[in-house]
């Protein structure tokens, strides 16, 4: 039995995540592996199907050397070998390279070969994640790989992520830093629309961008992720609509509301930004919402604010007579729930019901339990549900009417 080419193409398109290429950051490794098993099974139907399935499978590639002792390292080795030996690099549209000690020291030239051969063809998205807690000789290999990558040309590059976490006390001088060519790399790639530069921790105030403007530097940039010092450089870009902010030092003061408020106030008014994600641990409070409203008047999506007991008290104390509202265009808010402050039955929780009063255009709320929370910290009504993340739809007018009735009764 053999399927005609057009049928193979339709089946392959259907099997791609979401019906098309998704950013690898949004695709869990287990999903990729499950898809790989399914494709291998289905490929037995016909040789033609096998060819099409292989092409689809290798559009998204994860090379992960994190899982020492779990067989994940061996899996990364096999994938890298297949990419080179069978020429599967021809199909790569998205590649994610992640590693600690293993992988980088042994294969810098091989990884660069894969990237170099794939780049003129279909490569669009690249993610490099480097964890540096190694001794000097191994660090040298990692730096060589990063430096080698930054001199490549990838004509179709639209998404680029470079994350470096330095776990040792040894700091590199500016002249020897493997990241000294980041600006030149970006200047050679005006096709980038989504940029993620996260170097952590950082002893200096951001990268040395020099004099840059949107006409010559990343003219298509629509989304930026990085430390707060660098963010100020990109907020004025005309096409920028989404931004993710990280603190640049592992210090408790960066989670203080006062520090965050001072930073946002210095940004001024940024009307073009419609989506903001905060990786800061800032509390959900009225003063924070006010500065966000002043800075981002057209904001539609907000995530990362931390809900604690004070936040709950603030929400539950709202009444219709106060007429307090923030972020008039906000349609989706994602909050991080510290120790399950919000009750399990969200639709009956006054704190959640009050959200449409604060945000008139709100249609959706996402609740995420704080990292490290256990199932024991959730209420009994949460049993059997996914405790990592749940979505709740808030129908604005109906919830507001319900809340007003509750206020009258109480």
Between CA 368 and CA 382, with CA 359 as vertex, the angle to 5 degrees is 30
> Does the pLDDT at position 32 exceed 90?
no
Strand 94-99 and strand 242-246: pairing? Answer: unpaired
pLDDT 10s digits, 66-108? 655 444 556 777 778 778 787 888 888 888 887 654 445 566 7
Burial class of residue 399 (count of CB atoms within 10 Å of its CB; 0-12, 13-18, 19+): buried
Query: CB of 335 within 8 A of CB of 306?
Result: yes
pLDDT for 46 beyond 50: no
CB 224 within 8 A of CB 192: no
Provide the pLDDT for residue 270. Answer: 92
Q: How confident is the model at residue 253 (pLDDT cuts 50, 70, 90)?
A: low
**DSSP states of 95-119:** EEEEESSSSTTT-HHHHHHHHHHHT
- Which DSSP helix (H) or strand (E) runs through 132? strand 125-132
* Peptide bond connecting 327 to the previous residue in cis, omega within 30 degrees of 0: no
> Which range has the top average pLDDT, 9-18, 140-149, 240-249, 326-335?
326-335
Give the pLDDT confidence score for residue 355 in this predicted structure.
Answer: 81
147 vs 160, higher pLDDT: 160
For residue 44, the Cα-to-chain-centroid distance in whole angstroms is 36
Place of tokens 């098309």: 20
Flag whether pLDDT at 21 surpasses 60: no
Which residues are 365's β-sheet partners? 333, 392
Q: Is the pLDDT of residue 328 over 60?
A: yes
Reference 106, options 64, 141, 57, 153; nearest CA is: 141
- What is the predicted pLDDT for the residue at 340? 67
Most confident of 189-198, 259-268, 365-374: 189-198
Q: Which residue has the tokens 């930026």?
A: 224
Percentage with pLDDT > 90 across the chain: 18
pLDDT of 404 reads 42
The pLDDT assigned to 47 comes to 47
End-to-end alpha-carbon separation of the chain, Å?
70
Q: Which pLDDT value is given to residue 398?
A: 42
pLDDT at 180: 79
Confidence grade of residue 115 (pLDDT, cut at 50, 70, 90): confident
Name which of 95, 208, 226 is nearest 152 in CA terms: 95
**Segment 139-145 mean pLDDT:** 73
- Report pLDDT for 377: 28
Question: pLDDT tier at 201 (50, 70, 90 boundaries)?
Answer: low
Bridge partners (DSSP) listed for residue 99: 130
Is the model more confident about 408 or about 145? 145
Tokens of 240: 């920028």
Model confidence at 410, pLDDT cuts 50, 70, 90, reads: very low
Question: Minimal CA–CA distance to 97: which of 84, 114, 85?
Answer: 114
Average pLDDT over residues 133-143: 62
What the block records as the tokens of 218 is 């990343």
pTM: 0.73
């Amino acid at each position: 039995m053999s399927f005609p080419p057009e049928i193979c193409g339709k089946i392959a398109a259907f099997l791609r995540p979401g019906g098309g290429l998704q950013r690898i950051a949004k695709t869990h490794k287990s999903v990729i592996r499950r898809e790989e098993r399914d494709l291998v099974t289905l490929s037995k139907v016909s040789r033609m199907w096998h060819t099409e399935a292989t092409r689809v499978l290798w559009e998204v590639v994860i090379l992960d050397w994190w899982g020492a002792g779990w067989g994940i390292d061996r899996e990364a080795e096999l994938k890298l070998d297949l990419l080179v030996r069978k020429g599967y690099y021809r199909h790569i549209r998205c590649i994610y390279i992640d590693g600690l000690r293993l992988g980088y020291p042994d294969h810098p030239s091989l990884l660069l070969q894969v990237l170099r051969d794939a780049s003129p063809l279909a490569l669009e998205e690249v993610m490099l994640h480097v964890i540096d807690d190694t001794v000097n000789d191994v660090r040298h290999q990692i730096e060589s790989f990063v430096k080698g990558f930054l001199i490549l040309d990838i004509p179709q590059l639209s998404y680029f992520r470079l994350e470096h976490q330095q776990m040792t006390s040894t700091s590199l001088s500016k002249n020897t830093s493997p990241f000294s060519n980041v600006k030149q790399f970006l200047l050679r790639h005006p096709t980038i629309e989504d940029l993620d530069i996260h170097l952590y921790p950082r002893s200096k105030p951001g990268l040395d961008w020099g004099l840059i403007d949107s006409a010559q530097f990343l003219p298509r940039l629509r989304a930026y992720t990085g430390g707060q010092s660098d963010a100020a450089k990109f907020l004025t870009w005309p096409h920028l609509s989404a931004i993710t902010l990280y603190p640049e030092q592992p210090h408790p003061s960066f989670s203080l509301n006062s520090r965050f408020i001072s930073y946002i106030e210095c940004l001024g008014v940024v009307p073009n930004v419609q989506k903001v994600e905060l990786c800061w641990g800032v509390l959900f409070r009225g003063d924070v919402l006010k500065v966000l409203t002043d800075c981002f008047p057209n904001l539609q999506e907000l995530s990362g604010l931390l809900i604690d007991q004070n936040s709950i008290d603030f929400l539950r104390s709202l009444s219709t007579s106060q007429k307090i509202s923030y972020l008039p265009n906000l349609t989706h808010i994602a909050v991080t729930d510290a120790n399950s402050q919000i009750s399990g039955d969200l639709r009956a929780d006054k704190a959640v019901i009050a959200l449409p009063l604060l945000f008139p255009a709100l249609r959706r709320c996402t609740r995420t339990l704080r990292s490290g929370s256990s199932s024991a910290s959730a209420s009994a009504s949460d049993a059997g549900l996914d405790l990592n993340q749940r979505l709740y739809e808030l129908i604005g007018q109906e919830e507001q009417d319900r809340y007003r009735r509750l206020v009258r009764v109480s």
